[in-house]
Structure 1
Amino acid sequence: MELDARQIMEILPHRYPLLLVDKILHMELGKRIVGVKNVSVNEPYFQGHFPGFPLMPGVYILEAMAQVGGILMIKSLDLQVGKYAVVFAGIDEARFKKPVFPGDQLLLELEVISLKKTLSKMKGVAKVNGQVVAEAVLYAAARELSEITRKDS
C-alpha cells in the first residue's frame, strides 16, 4: 500500500512546518511501514541549525519516524481520523550515526514490536543512500482528541 502527500494529510493532523512525511512507499498493516522525507534546504530549522553548515536536527529525524509510525498505528487499528491523535509516549535507544543534510532523502522504516488498542512500540531506522543515520525504539499512544483537548475554565 502506497500513500501520497494528500493521503498522508488526510490521516495526520500535522501541517507545515511540522509535517515530515512526503510519501509512504510500503505498508503491511500491523507489521511494517516505509516512508520518505525529502530534506529540503528550505526547511525552517536550517536557518538556525546551523548557519553555514545546515544539519537536520536529530529530534526532527525522530519526529519523522514517529509520524510514519503513527500512520501505521492509525491504519492498523482503524482509528477514526479526526477523532484520535497519536502522540509520543516514549523513546528508547535513540542513536544518531551520521548527519543528514539538505538534499538528502530519508528512508524511514518502522517495524511493529507490539501493537495494542491504544499503545504501540516500534523499532525505527532512518537511512540515507542505504546507510543508517538514526535508529530508535518509539512508543506511541492513541488518545481521543476530547481527552487531550485543553478545556478552558
Structure 2
Amino acid sequence: MTTLEHADIRRILPHRHPVLLVDRVLDLEPGVRIVATKTVTGSEPCYAGLDENLQGSAYAYPSSLLVESFGQTGAVLWLYSAATSGERREGTLIFGSARDVTITGSAYPGDVLRHTVEIDQLIGDNAFMRGETWVGDRRIATLGSVLAVVREELAAGTGS
C-alpha cells in the first residue's frame, strides 16, 4: 500500500492553491487504483461572498469542483504510475471529458471527500478512468468514464 502526503501530491500535480483539490492519498496501487481525500472547507473561494442569510443548502460543494477533484485524483494515479515505471509524462495535463456522471448527494464545509479511481485503459498519452466519490458512508457521485490527456507544450507564437 502506497500513501502520499500533500507535499508528495504537489510534486506530482502542477496545480496550486486554490485549484489543487487533493489533500492526501490513502492508498495507491500503481497502474490500477487510488483512494484519495479532499477536505471541503468554508474558506474556499467558491464560498466567498455568500450572503450569511442563505440556507445551509447554499453551501453544497459545487459539482464542477467535485468532478475536478476526482479528475486530479486520477491524474495523481496516472502520473505517479508513469513515473514509477520510467514512463514519465511531459507536457500539459488536460481533463478531456467525463461521461456517465451521476451526482446523488452533496458535500458541505467540514466534509471529507473520498475518491476511489480506477484506470480502465491507457493508450499513449490518454488515460481512461472511472470511480466513485464518498462522504463517510454515503456515495455522492459515480463517474463512469473520465478521459485525461497529456499534450506537448505548444511553442509560443505557433498559432496552434
With the length of structure 1 as denominator, give the TM-score of the two structures. 0.89
Question: In the alignment, what sits opposite 1:70?
Answer: 75
Task: Measure the CA separation in 1 of the matches of 2:135 and 2:50.
Answer: 19
SS of structure 2 residue aligned to 1:2: strand
Count residues in correspondence: 149
- 1:142 matched to 2:136: no
- 1:44 matched to 2:45: yes
Task: Measure the CA separation in 1 of the matches of 2:40 and 2:22.
Answer: 10
Task: Measure the CA separation in 1 of the matches of 2:132 and 2:117.
Answer: 6
SS of structure 2 residue aligned to 1:100: coil
Task: Measure the CA separation in 2 of the matches of 1:80 and 1:70.
Answer: 13
Task: Measure the CA separation in 2 of the matches of 1:77 and 1:2.
Answer: 16
Partner amino acid for 1:26?
Answer: D
- Gaps in structure 2 of 5+ consecutive residues: none
With the length of structure 2 as denominator, give the TM-score of the two structures. 0.85
Superposition deviation, residue 116 in structure 1: 2.4
SS of structure 2 residue aligned to 1:75: helix
SS of structure 2 residue aligned to 1:77: helix
Distance 1:143 1:54, change over 3 A: same
- 1:107 matched to 2:114: yes
8 Å CA contact 1:108, 1:127 repeated in 2: yes
Distance 1:48 1:3, change over 3 A: same
Task: Measure the CA separation in 2 of the matches of 1:109 and 1:5.
Answer: 17
Distance 1:49 1:60, change over 3 A: farther
Superposed counterparts of 1:1-153, under 5 Å: 1-47=2-48, 52=54, 53-78=58-83, 79-80=87-88, 83-136=90-143, 137-144=145-152, 146-147=153-154, 151-152=156-157
Superposition deviation, residue 152 in structure 1: 3.3
8 Å CA contact 1:108, 1:125 repeated in 2: yes
Q: Which has the larger radius of gyration?
A: 2
Partner amino acid for 1:133?
Answer: I
Superposition deviation, residue 50 in structure 1: 7.7
Task: Measure the CA separation in 1 of the matches of 2:97 and 2:50.
Answer: 24
Task: Measure the CA separation in 2 of the matches of 1:112 and 1:3.
Answer: 18
Q: Deviations over 1:85-140 (max 9, x none)?
A: 32111110111101110000000100111122211111121100121111212111
